């Protein structure tokens, strides 16, 4: 603080001006939370009038009874626990039954319409979720979808050093979110930019673009922009098989506006949950367009265990099992599910059927976790190391 006040004095000959000009960033008083120290983590909250303060934490099943704070002094509540394993977690405080963000933690993520604090416990694969010294850019791009008759938003990640005039063109991964998500989900909850930056910097993934569109046919863009949804949602009438706009509108836009490979060797599609089902349809319907596909925790494929009809790929694409030569053209068919996600049985069954028909490039991975981002971030990190290999 001494240095900062000196610094203030230098700036204008008085600290009071600076204190007003540089308000919250440097001079804001407050408790430290969360504090990671050695192997422990401490949460703190100022709540003098509270009767009960808890943390609702992703690694404790969001059950606030699992992590309660006690009041220390001056209305400051705290709790110290051992750090959970390296991972990007989310949490909120719960004070007398209402949820609130940790006012001392500026790391915040939105999941649908819910805001939660983020907490990165570093180490192991979670280091890929931290900022990299060679960061790529991300663009919020509006494009016209003739298919949907809407001007819609997508995010486009370009890798570090992306050169629009480079002779060697870049491949593109089209990456689809789940139900309740939008074009923002993969870059925030999914940590896509950091994962790509780190893996590319380490030479583990090829430099590629990642295009993250909005796969909800009634949304122009994420609901944070406040644009009313489109009432005409007929596109869903054909089920998960709805996202023809990706190939009709988005691929041409990207190939017109970016320095990318314009054939199947440079195109991949992957998605989680709803986006996994969309990826299945998009890839198998357009085998000449994409060279690989990633399907993470698809409810379409894992439907039987969660109350749906058993998944039958042959019914959707006649020949998939009876004449596999027709469809056995992908370099990579990556399938994955969380071990505690009940979609896993259906996903495994699909994998088994593809193996029985000797589909090439089939990769199966499973990770501890439910239907959650912890699993999908690892899926992304694995998948991008498999595709566009030279």
Q: Output the smallest distance, CB 61 to a copy of itself, in A.
A: 16
Map residues 256-295 to x or -, x wherever contact with a copy of itself holds by CB under 8 A: -----------------xx--x------------------
Q: Output the smallest distance, CB 252 to a copy of itself, in A.
A: 17
Of residues 68, 72, 123, 142, which one binds a copy of itself by CB under 8 A? 142
Q: Does 225 help bind a copy of itself (rule: CB under 8 A)?
A: yes
Map residues 352-371 to x or -, x wherever contact with a copy of itself holds by CB under 8 A: -------------------x
From the list 334, 320, 247, 355, the residue with the least C-alpha distance to 292 is 334
Number of residues near a copy of itself (by CB under 8 A): 83
Nearer to a copy of itself, 14 or 80 (CB): 14
Cα torsion 127, 130, 131, 135: sign: positive
Of residues 40, 65, 80, 151, which one binds a copy of itself by CB under 8 A? 151
Of residues 2, 38, 74, 113, which one binds a copy of itself by CB under 8 A? 113
Residue with tokens 């499973």: 366
Nearer to a copy of itself, 292 or 297 (CB): 297
Q: Does 308 help bind a copy of itself (rule: CB under 8 A)?
A: yes
Q: Does 133 help bind a copy of itself (rule: CB under 8 A)?
A: yes
Cα torsion 48, 49, 51, 56: sign: negative
- Sheet strands (E) in 251-331: 267-272, 292-296
Of residues 76, 101, 201, 363, which one binds a copy of itself by CB under 8 A? 101
Q: How far apart are the first and last CA of the chain?
A: 53
Nearer to a copy of itself, 233 or 248 (CB): 233
Nearer to a copy of itself, 192 or 291 (CB): 192
Q: Does 136 help bind a copy of itself (rule: CB under 8 A)?
A: yes
Nearer to a copy of itself, 101 or 348 (CB): 101
Rounded distance between C-alpha atoms, residue 284 and residue 320, angstroms: 9
Cα 354–327–282 angle (5° rounding)?
95
Q: Output the smallest distance, CB 325 to a copy of itself, in A.
A: 29
Q: Residue 174 in contact with residue 251, Cβ under 8 Å?
A: yes
Q: Does 176 help bind a copy of itself (rule: CB under 8 A)?
A: no
Restricted to residues 16-55, the positions that interact with a copy of itself (CB under 8 A) are 16-18, 20-25, 28, 45-51
Where are the alpha helices (H) located in the chain, listed in sequence order?
2-12, 15-21, 23-27, 185-188, 192-201, 245, 251-257, 274-285, 313-316, 344-356, 373-386
Q: Does 347 help bind a copy of itself (rule: CB under 8 A)?
A: no
Nearer to a copy of itself, 115 or 125 (CB): 115
Q: Does 165 help bind a copy of itself (rule: CB under 8 A)?
A: no
Where are the alpha helices (H) located in 153-271, listed in sequence order?
185-188, 192-201, 245, 251-257
Q: Does 325 help bind a copy of itself (rule: CB under 8 A)?
A: no
| Residue 217, both tokens | 């046919």
Q: Output the smallest distance, CB 164 to a copy of itself, in A.
A: 8
Q: Does 100 help bind a copy of itself (rule: CB under 8 A)?
A: yes
Identify which range of 106-114, 246-254, 262-270, 353-361 contacts a copy of itself by CB under 8 A.
106-114
Rounded distance between C-alpha atoms, residue 333 and residue 349, angstroms: 14
Nearer to a copy of itself, 236 or 265 (CB): 236
Report the SS3 class of residue 16: helix
Q: Does 146 help bind a copy of itself (rule: CB under 8 A)?
A: no
> 34: cis peptide before it, omega within 30°?
yes
Report the SS3 class of residue 383: helix
Q: Are strands 209-212 and 172-176 parallel, antiparallel or unpaired?
A: parallel
Identify which range of 54-62, 138-146, 353-361, 378-386 contacts a copy of itself by CB under 8 A.
138-146
Residue with tokens 């709790």: 79
CA dihedral 20, 24, 29, 33 (to 10 degrees): 180
Rounded distance between C-alpha atoms, residue 379 and residue 366, angstroms: 9
Q: Output the smallest distance, CB 383 to a copy of itself, in A.
A: 20
Q: Does 131 help bind a copy of itself (rule: CB under 8 A)?
A: yes
């Amino acid at each position: 603080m001494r240095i900062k006040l000196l610094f203030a004095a230098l700036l204008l000959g008085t600290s009071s001006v600076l204190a007003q000009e540089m308000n919250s960033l440097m001079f804001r008083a407050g408790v430290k939370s969360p504090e990671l120290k050695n192997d422990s983590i401490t949460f703190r909250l100022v709540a003098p009038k509270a009767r009960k303060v808890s943390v609702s934490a992703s690694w404790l099943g969001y059950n606030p009874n699992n992590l309660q704070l006690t009041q220390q002094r001056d209305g400051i509540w705290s709790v110290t626990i051992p750090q959970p394993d390296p991972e990007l977690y989310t949490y909120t405080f719960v004070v007398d039954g209402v949820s609130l963000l940790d006012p001392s933690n500026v790391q915040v993520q939105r999941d649908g319409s819910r805001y939660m604090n983020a907490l990165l416990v570093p180490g192991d694969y979670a280091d890929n979720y931290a900022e990299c010294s060679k960061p790529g850019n991300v663009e919020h791009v509006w494009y016209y979808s003739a298919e949907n008759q809407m001007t819609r938003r997508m995010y486009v990640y370009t890798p570090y050093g992306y050169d629009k005039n480079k002779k060697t063109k870049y491949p593109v991964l089209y990456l689809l979110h789940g139900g309740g998500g939008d074009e923002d989900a993969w870059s925030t909850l999914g940590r896509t930019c950091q994962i790509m930056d780190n893996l590319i910097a380490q030479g583990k993934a090829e430099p590629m673009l990642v295009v993250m569109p909005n796969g909800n046919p009634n949304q122009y863009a994420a609901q944070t922009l406040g644009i009313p949804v489109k009432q005409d949602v007929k596109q869903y009438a054909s089920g998960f098989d709805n996202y023809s706009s990706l190939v009709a509108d988005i691929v041409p836009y990207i190939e017109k506006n970016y320095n990318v490979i314009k054939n199947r060797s440079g195109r991949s599609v992957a998605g989680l949950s709803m986006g996994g089902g969309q990826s299945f349809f998009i890839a198998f319907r357009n085998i000449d367009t994409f060279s690989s596909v990633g399907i993470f925790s698809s409810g379409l494929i894992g439907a039987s265990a969660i109350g749906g009809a058993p998944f039958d790929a042959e019914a959707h694409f006649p020949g998939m099992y009876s004449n596999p030569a027709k469809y056995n053209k992908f370099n990579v068919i990556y399938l994955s599910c969380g071990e505690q996600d009940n979609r896993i049985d259906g996903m495994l069954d699909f994998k088994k059927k593809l193996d029985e028909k000797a589909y090439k490039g089939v990769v199966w991975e499973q990770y501890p976790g439910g239907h959650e981002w912890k699993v999908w971030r690892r899926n992304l990190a694995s998948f991008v190391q498999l595709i566009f290999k030279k």
